[in-house]
Amino acid sequence: MLNEIRTVYLDSELNIEAYRFKGIMQKFPAHFHDYYVIGFIEEGQRHLVCKGEEYVINPGDLLLFNPYDTHSCEQIDGKTLDYRCINVKPEIMKKAVLEVTGHESLPSFKQCVLFQSELVSDLQELHLQISQDESEFKKEELFLTLLEELIQSHSDLTILPMASETSHEIRTVCNYLEDNYTTTITLNDLSALTGWSKYHLLRTFTRKMGISPNSYLETIRVNHAKELLEQGITPIEVAFLTGFSDQSHLTKFFKRLVGLTPKQYMRIFESEG
pLDDT in tens, the chain (273 residues): 568 999 999 999 999 999 999 999 999 999 999 999 999 999 999 999 999 999 999 999 999 999 999 999 999 998 999 999 999 999 999 999 999 988 889 999 999 999 999 999 999 999 999 998 888 999 999 999 999 999 999 999 988 776 565 689 999 999 999 999 999 999 999 999 999 999 999 999 998 899 999 999 999 999 999 999 999 999 999 999 999 989 999 999 999 999 999 999 999 887 655
Residue 149 and residue 27 share a domain: yes
Residue 256 and residue 196 share a domain: yes
- Structural domain ending residue among the three candidates 154, 176, 210: 154
Give me the CATH number covering residue 73: 2.60.120.10
| Domain range enclosing 56 | 5-154
- Structural domain ending residue among the three candidates 106, 129, 154: 154
Model pLDDT, residue 271 = 64
Phi, psi of 84 (to 5 degrees): -130, 150
How many structural domains is the chain composed of?
2
Model pLDDT, residue 102 = 86
Residue 125 and residue 9 share a domain: yes
Residue 193 and residue 257 share a domain: yes
Residue 117 and residue 12 share a domain: yes
Coil, helix or strand at residue 183: coil
Model pLDDT, residue 151 = 95
Residue 251 and residue 175 share a domain: yes
Residue 218 and residue 148 share a domain: no
Residue 114 and residue 11 share a domain: yes
Give me the CATH number covering residue 270: 1.10.10.60
Compute CA distances 2 → 11, 26, 65, whole Å.
27, 13, 29
- Structural domain ending residue among the three candidates 154, 186, 210: 154
Residue 148 and residue 17 share a domain: yes
- The C-alpha atoms of residue 252 and residue 250 are separated, in whole angstroms, by 6
Residue 117 and residue 60 share a domain: yes
Helical H segments across the chain, by residue range:
90-101, 119-131, 136-154, 168-179, 187-194, 198-209, 213-230, 235-241, 247-258, 262-272
Q: Which residues contact 253 (CB under 8 A, 6 or more apart)?
A: 218, 221, 222, 244
Model pLDDT, residue 134 = 83
What does 193-259 look like in DSSP terms, one character per residue? Answer: HHT--HHHHHHHHHHHHSS-HHHHHHHHHHHHHHHHHHTT--HHHHHHHTT-SSHHHHHHHHHHHHS
Tell me which residue of 221, 142, 215, 128 sits closest to 183, measured CA to CA: 221
pTM of the model: 0.85
Report whether 154 contacts 119 (CB < 8 A): no
Model pLDDT, residue 272 = 58
Residue 186 and residue 88 share a domain: no
Residue 207 and residue 137 share a domain: no
